[in-house]
Structure 1
Amino acid sequence: MKAIGKTVLAASVLAASAMPAMAHPGHDGSMMAGLAHPFSGVDHLAAMVAVGLWAATRPARQAVIAPLAFMGALAMGAVAGLMTGALPMIEPMVAGSVLVLGALLVLATRLSSGLALGLIVATGAVHGLAHGAEASGNLAAYFGGFLVSSALLHGAGWQMGRMIFSRSQGRLAAGLALGATGLALLAA
């Protein structure tokens, strides 16, 4: 029960620290804009932390695979987003990715790592498309900034997961909280 309380507290703090808006246009293309971007909406913040949480469900030697796969897909998606511009329905896809990542946590012990990593890559690509479509100005600085912040949030999620996943109900509570967040974002 203590793990569930810590999970709810951590999720509440993260949700309260992010602005509720899902669309994030108008970044100036600076390193600071890129660093700030993953913190600018609960959708991005929750997804970045969720990848780290999922990594905490893996053995220590495998924990880095999911964040690296997400980061690679995030970078490639950003480049694709630059070329395509804003895609229709990208924000609901970003919100849906939070739901998917919550489901991955709930099902972490039942899904194959390959299937889970495929879904993590897909969510990374969706977030990258949104980032790239919004980018302007100094693209290298902006992309570098959001990749650094994303990696830091993955690390924070992993560390949080290591603290609260000593019991399976901590993982379940985190997954359900993320899933509920994804559903709320989709309903907004």
Structure 2
Amino acid sequence: MIPAKRLCLSAILLLAAAMPAYAHVGIGTASSFTAGFMHPLSGLDHMTVMVAVGLWAALKGGKAVLAWPAAFVCVMLVGGALGMLHMPLPFVEPGILASVVTLGLLVALAIDLPVSAGVAIIGLFALFHGHAHGTEVPENAGGLEYMAGFAIATLLLHAAGIAAGLSLGIRFRGVARAAGAACAAIGIC
């Protein structure tokens, strides 16, 4: 088996094995930063979208590689602050679900949009993810540390998607697109 395919298959299997772990951190003695860092990693919906943003940015290339992940994190932090302030945002859960399917399809179909259109799409979905993070902050957690934790975890997930997309290159673009299809399927199932 080709090393890139083996790596992708291993990543997919690890994600599939983690599917039952929907519990979120926040109970016990975890630090505020750790609780925030673990939140995006504890839900398959958050993980798949954040990796998909990186994959889609890598497929697009150019300015998108920095602009799309940066837009996601910045708008996610705004959504997180709104959630922490208990400001209502309608359709958070459907918005998160739509993000899983939509971003998966954007990667699977290798949709080539202008960078600004990608920023708008990603920003909208990031608002929902951020709000979910903010509303689920543990009672004893410090807000800024918690936000720093989920922002850094998100950046690392974006970086993993970018690294995977760039390492696959043009020759193995189909593997990245298959990962996008898997992301969309996760949102549908």
Normalising by the smaller structure, the TM-score range is 0.7 to 0.9
Cα 1:62–1:96, aligned 2, differ >3 Å: closer, same or farther?
closer
Question: CA shift at 1:8, angstroms?
Answer: 4.1
Describe the shift of the 1:89–1:61 C-alpha distance in structure 2 as closer, same or farther (beyond 3 A): closer
Deviates more, 1:34-43 or 1:24-33: 24-33
Gaps of at least 5 residues in structure 2 are: none
Q: Tell me the CA shift for residue 56 of structure 1.
A: 0.9
Q: Does 1:162 align with 2:163?
A: no
Deviations for 1:113-170, whole angstroms, at most 9, x for unmatched residues? 3222211111111100101111232111111111111111111111111123433322
Could you say if the C-alpha distance between residues 95 and 25 of structure 1 is closer, same or farther in structure 2, counting changes exceeding 3 Å?
farther
The reply to whether residue 38 of structure 1 matches residue 40 of structure 2 is yes
| Deviation of 1:43 (Å) | 0.8
Q: How does 1:1-188 map to 2 (within 5 A)?
A: 6-17=7-18, 19-21=20-22, 24=24, 26=26, 30-84=32-86, 89-135=91-137, 136=139, 137-166=141-170, 167-184=172-189
Q: TM-score, normalised by structure 2?
A: 0.83
Q: Letter of the 2:184 partner, please give it.
A: G
Equivalenced residues, count: 183
Cα–Cα, structure 1 residues 88 and 117, in superposed 2: closer, same or farther, change >3 Å? Answer: closer
Gaps of 5+ in 1: none
* Paired amino acid for 2:11: A
Q: Distance in 1 between matches of 2:107 and 2:13?
A: 18
CA distance in 2, matches of 1:95, 1:151: 20
- The answer to whether the 8 A contact 1:6-1:164 is kept is no
CA root-mean-square deviation = 2.6
SS at match of 1:53: helix
Q: State the one-letter code of the partner of 1:10.
A: A
Amino acid at match of 2:142: N
Q: How many Å apart are 1:82 and its aligned residue?
A: 1.7
1: CA distance between counterparts of 2:155 and 2:114? Answer: 24
Cα distance change of structure 1 residues 102 and 165 upon mapping to structure 2, 3 Å threshold: farther
Q: C-alpha separation between the residues in 1 aligned to 2:14 and 2:155?
A: 19
CA distance, structure 2, for counterparts of residue 157 and residue 34 of structure 1: 20
Once the 2 structures are TM-superposed, how far is the Cα of residue 18 of structure 1 from its aligned partner?
5.3
Would the alpha carbon gap of residues 60 and 14 (structure 1) be closer, same or farther in structure 2, given more than 3 Å must change? farther
Task: Please give the alpha-carbon distance, in whole angstroms, between the structure 2 residues aligned to 1:88 and 1:63.
Answer: 30
Q: Tell me, what secondary structure is at the counterpart of 1:145?
A: helix
